[in-house]
Structure 1
Amino acid sequence: MGQRNEKLRWQLVSGVLQALHLERLTDKYPHSVVMAVFNLVNSGISIALVAVVALITQEAFIFPSLGATAFILFYVPLSQPASPRNALCGHFIGATMGLVGLYLFGLQDAPSAMANGVDLARVGAVAVAMGLTGSLMVGLNLAHPPAGATALIVALGLMPNPAQLPVLMAGVLMLLVHAFIMNRLAGIPYPFWRAGTAKPAKVARANAQGQPEAR
């Protein structure tokens, strides 16, 4: 599995560079350097796109756990947690359970834990939010680790307004669209919805794309 993911990561980088007519970089520099720079630029662009929309609209399209989601989408694109289904549903579960924790302990109108500190009610809210999020993701087979951070962000009072939920989900969707374009541009059969639904021939071609030896 590790070797397969390494091949896919290299395919993503080399495929995009080829599409941009920059494939000579893979011959000129060590592949580990090319990979690192690619991820530096691509991760920065993906988050910057969402942040620009947040800047224009002054809405909370950008939130910390999106960074972890971006890493998964480009590091292990064919894994189950990286699929649009898991990313969207996972963050929705995390945000919703964060709200459940807030309302259960009467913290929906309270200042955030960053501004007011942590008390027993906040401990209960984060415990309930994280516990329910983990349980539902496992029970529904919707594992997406960054969603645990989303649950805590909401339960800590950083995004306490239910009206922010559609905006939060729109931020996830924008990131997924960018990941879909970049992965497909590189020839990786990133799924439309659920992991493992790509045609076997496409997956076989993706797995067959090797990487040059590290220099």
Structure 2
Amino acid sequence: MSDIVRGLFLRTRLPWLLEHHARIPVLALFSFVNGCISIGIMAALAVVTHSPFIFPSLGPTAFLFFYTPTAPSASPRNTVIGHAIGVTAGYFSLVVTGLTMAGPALAVGVTWPRVIAAALSLGLASGLMVLLKSPHPPAGATTLIISLGILTKPWQLLLLMAAVILLTIQAFVINRLAGIPYPLWNPPAEPADPSANKRKS
């Protein structure tokens, strides 16, 4: 019986499926199923707690988790640090422009201070992610969510980061169960470029 269970488990793992079936349909199904599961859990948590555990930039983060899980930008380190940078840059831009108590741009319109806040937040987030070697493109959306006034209260920003961490934990569990070597924290080391030594010599 244990051999049967083990055989069935192995046949549901992504490497086996890719080896025995067409690549694109398998990857599409994997992304579809796990995108539904991961975001569905976060949305259900938002309903139960009446808190913002779901927001737009979680979508592209989930896509990276399940389409390119071993890419550096999808690693837990880049994901958590990237979104934290986005949150910090977004809130800093609100403080600088005096918009911490202002309504969202979608409701009250875009003003010149809001233009400055949006530009400053994305510029800061982009520069800091590069500087700290933690690029995570969806964090660019996170910083605009804040600088445009959609989520601005400190407790909302803490929940936003909690949601990022919960989604990252889901990605780790799902990808590991699927047989993907998803990292625990740091992105996988990039293989050395043998041509670099040749160019130096």
Which 5+ residue runs of structure 1 have no aligned equivalent? Answer: 1-14, 201-215
Equivalent residue for 2:11?
Answer: 18
Contact (CA 8 Å) 2:77, 2:185: kept in 1 or not? yes
Contact (CA 8 Å) 1:89, 1:142: kept in 2 or not? yes
Equivalent residue for 1:4?
Answer: none
Contact (CA 8 Å) 2:91, 2:152: kept in 1 or not? yes
Shift of 1:147: 0.3
Aligned length: 182
Shift of 1:80: 1.1
Q: Secondary structure at the match of 1:59?
A: coil
* Residue 179 in structure 1 maps to residue 190 in structure 2: no
Aligned-partner Cα distance in 2 for 1:130–1:16:
44
Aligned-partner Cα distance in 1 for 2:84–2:188:
22
AA partner of residue 11 (structure 2): Q
Sequence identity (%): 48
Structure 2 counterparts to residues 7-86 of structure 1, below 5 A:
18-19=11-12, 30-86=22-78
Larger radius of gyration: 2
- Shift in alpha-carbon separation, 1:16–1:105, aligned structure 2, 3 A: farther
Q: Secondary structure at the match of 1:187?
A: coil
Q: Deviations over 1:109-158 (max 9, x none)?
A: 11100001101000000011011100100001010000000000000000
AA partner of residue 42 (structure 2): V
Aligned-partner Cα distance in 2 for 1:100–1:17:
48
Aligned-partner Cα distance in 2 for 1:40–1:186:
14
Which 5+ residue runs of structure 2 have no aligned equivalent? Answer: 1-7, 192-201
**TM-score w.r.t. length of structure 2:** 0.83
AA partner of residue 160 (structure 1): T
Equivalent residue for 1:135?
Answer: 127
- Shift in alpha-carbon separation, 1:24–1:82, aligned structure 2, 3 A: closer
Indicate the RMSD between aligned Cα atoms, in angstroms: 2.4
Give the alignment partner of residue 119 of structure 1, picking from 111, 117, 122: 111
Q: Which has the higher contact order (CA 8 A, sep 6+)?
A: 1
